[in-house]
Amino acid sequence: MNAENIVKKHIKNLPVYETGKPIEYVAREFGLDPDGILKMASNENPLGPSPKAVEALSSKLSALNYYPDGGCYELRQKLSKKWGLSPSQFAFGNGSNELLEFVAQCFVGEGDETVFGAQSFIVYKLATIFMGGKCVSVPMPGLRYDLDMLRDAVTEKTKVVFMTNPNNPTGCVVKGEEVANFVRSLPEHVVFCYDEAYTEYQDEEVDLRPLIREGRNVICLRTFSKIYGLAGLRIGYGYTSEEIAGYINRAREPFNVNSLAQIGALAALDDTDFVKESKRINNIGRKQFEKAFQDMGLEYFSEGANFVMVKLNDAAGAFVKMQKSGVIVRPNVGYGLPDWLRITIGKPEDNERCIEELKKSL
Ligand SMILES: *Cc1c(COP(=O)(O)O)cnc(C)c1O
């Protein structure tokens, strides 16, 4: 029996998402002790998980025999107060990644188009192809968004425009006013999906709630995977119009956000000290990398979020050599940037080690 003839064509052609290489994989491949390996590949929080979340989780393990609250009631109430939006304007996902898929499932069908930056999060592409849609990937000169080009790519067939700010993997930042003007320039048949995975690392967060209140089709996505340090729990949320939140609510499975994720997220929202410290460490680390790249005479891109990009003559070679020394960074071949490595900013001592190994690998 050959399933090849019955699988949908666009599923067969779907590229596979390559995650940052897990520590255990590198340990097995290179015969290393996993405890000595430093992972700077997936923009995870180098300080670990939010301590408040860990404390809350450990007291709730005995309730795992129960299904989670499919409606995320407590989290919804808390976020409603935090953002001054109605509880019914929120949608929750098993990571914000799942919400990206829901957006595609709700709005993208066969022949529809989505528009996004060519060097922007690869899930926009995967979610589109999965639904049989067509990707319109817009060049990003100098690793930055060109909003005019992005706008020009929008046609009658466009259903969703995806943007992440700060962008992953380049880290470029677009000012709030420019984002708002861009959204106001979009036709009514387009949903603007604004991915805010790294927004907490910025001093000034862009606020698109006025656009949502104006009745524009905007959905903003947040995650607990980055500054809150809860990537392993898998939880993210979107805030949008009541109408769009309602559609997403229909696309999800009844218990898509597990109970520990809800408890962890609830506690993490109160962990302002942890968020502050994560940001502080990140700012220090960024300067460390920038100075090191300047000293080495390497071209780099460093602007927002919790990572930096560096250009090398042999990025693939350096990627392997650094792994042998127990440091995992991220190649960018899938983003059409084979000469660039993306490095997640760590604690000062992690950054030192990474810089040393990078030097040795050149
Ligand atoms: C990390 C990241 C996310 C968050 O993914 P989760 O599924 O919430 O872990 C979303 N968008 C971008 C651009 C990211 O880099």
Confidence of residue 334 (pLDDT cuts 50, 70, 90): confident
Same domain, 249 and 293: no
Using the predicted structure, report yes or no on whether residue 17 has a pLDDT greater than 80: yes
Best substitution site from 116, 198, 219, 225 to test ligand 1's pocket, by max atoms within 8 Å of Cβ? 225
Same domain, 16 and 121: no
Average pLDDT for the chain: 97
Using the predicted structure, report yes or no on whether residue 10 has a pLDDT greater than 90: no
**How many domains would you assign to the chain?**
2
pTM (2 d.p.) = 0.97
Q: What is the CATH number of the domain that holds 212?
A: 3.40.640.10
Best substitution site from 120, 226, 237, 335 to test ligand 1's pocket, by max atoms within 8 Å of Cβ? 226
Instruction: Kindly report, residue by residue over 104-123, the tens digit of the pLDDT.
Output: 999 999 999 999 999 999 99
Helices then strands, counting H and E runs in the chain, come out as 14, 13
Ligand 1 atom showing the smallest separation from residue 120 Cα: 13
Same domain, 76 and 209: yes
Q: Among candidates 187, 176, 118, 122, which has minimal Cα distance to 151?
A: 187
Instruction: Kindly report, residue by residue over 133-160, the tens digit of the pLDDT.
Output: 999 999 999 999 999 999 999 999 999 9
Same domain, 264 and 276: no
Same domain, 260 and 147: yes
Same domain, 256 and 283: no
Q: Which of 221, 242, 268 is the last residue of a domain?
A: 268
Residue 354 to residue 2: CA distance in whole angstroms? 47
Residue 89 to residue 220: CA distance in whole angstroms? 11
Q: Which of 236, 268, 300 is the last residue of a domain?
A: 268
Residue 323 to residue 308: CA distance in whole angstroms? 18
Ligand 1 atom showing the smallest separation from residue 99 Cα: 7
Same domain, 38 and 85: no
What residue numbers bound the domain in which 317 lies? 3-48+272-361
Q: What is the pLDDT of residue 329?
A: 97
**42 CA to middle of ligand 1, Å?**
9
Same domain, 179 and 210: yes
Same domain, 259 and 333: no
Chain CA centroid to CA 324, Å: 27
**56 CA to middle of ligand 1, Å?**
23
Q: Which residues line ligand 1 (CB under 6 A)?
A: 43, 95-97, 121, 164, 168, 195, 197, 223, 225-226, 231, 236
Same domain, 245 and 229: yes
Average pLDDT over residues 173-192: 97
Same domain, 43 and 159: no
